[in-house]
Amino acid sequence: MAGPSSRLHPPGEHEVHVWVGSVASAAGYITQFQELLSDDENARASKFRFDKNRHEFIVSRGMLRTLLASYLGGSAAGLRFTYSAYGKPRLEEAKNPGILTFNLSHSDGVIVCAFARNREVGVDVEKMRQDFSTEEIAERFFSAGERIALRALPAEHRRQGFFNCWTRKEAYIKARGEGLSLPLHQFDVSLSPAEHRRQGFFNCWTRKEAYIKARGEGLSLPLPQFDVSLSPAEPAALLRTRPDANEASRWSLHDLEVPPGYAAALAVEIGRSTSSALAAPDVSTG
């Protein structure tokens, strides 16, 4: 994706816009994107040893600037960022009426940008590499509950489960903007792959049927009056936060549709406090 050429309507109060692009589709625009970058961005780009990594940085930052300029009007090259103590970028307030928030992630040629209004967002995309030491990293960085959930998955789904967990955790800490000062083991996210949902449904159905047949009462025993285990895939969710248990209710997590072989997640603020909640947003992907 080389970036839109016309003005875009910014996300509304209850919307999040997500853009997915690739370095390959922008291969002919490397020079144009580089001309949009600031001196400090170009200095960072020059430090990459390999062209592949340097081009990915240039395209991702150029794509971000192009989209921001299309939302706000004005020059992509003229945008100026400020950075938090932990490195999270924001636009200078004078050039950001309506407080457009954004976040960027890229991995092995795939780029994801998220945009919202007056709410924090975080996004992460990861290539699901086969040579990644998933078990070792999970033991080091996942919470106890997440490690148990990961080990409970069938072996063939653990890699997907690991990257679901990793991208959801990364998206959340990026939305919070506190970097690794927020310990990864202090919160739990869901991680089960979506492939388990159909299996979970039929697990539930057959277990309910077996029980009522054993009871011999047919449908005179209403199905909603009892529960069985089913182990379905959990949707992306921030399950628990410590030490503030209420923090989990202030955020929503979403899986994002990205090319095969990648995993991606979005974290969105839905309330700054228990008394001033924002509605859960609609997420649209471009």
| pTM, rounded to two decimals | 0.80
CB 128 within 8 A of CB 261: yes
Rounded alpha-carbon distances, angstroms, from residue 92 to 85, 89, 239: 15, 10, 34
The span from the CA of 168 to the CA of 173, in Å, is 9
Picking from 27-31, 208-212, 253-257, which range would have the lowest pLDDT averaged per residue? Answer: 208-212
Q: Quick: pLDDT tens for 42-54.
A: 999 999 999 999 9
The span from the CA of 87 to the CA of 103, in Å, is 12
The span from the CA of 106 to the CA of 214, in Å, is 54
Output 188 or 198, whichever has higher pLDDT.
Answer: 188
Asked if residue 154 has pLDDT above 90, the reply is: no
CB 68 within 8 A of CB 28: no
Q: Quick: pLDDT tens for 60-113.
A: 999 999 999 999 988 999 999 988 888 889 998 766 766 899 999 999 999 999
Return the DSSP state at 260.
Answer: T
Phi-psi region of 98 (alpha: psi -120 to 50; beta: other; left: phi over 0): left
Q: Quick: pLDDT tens for 189-225.
A: 988 765 455 555 555 656 667 767 666 666 565 656 5
Residues 6+ apart with CB under 8 A from 175: 103, 120, 121, 122, 251, 267, 268, 269
Q: Looking at residue 7, what is its pLDDT?
A: 84
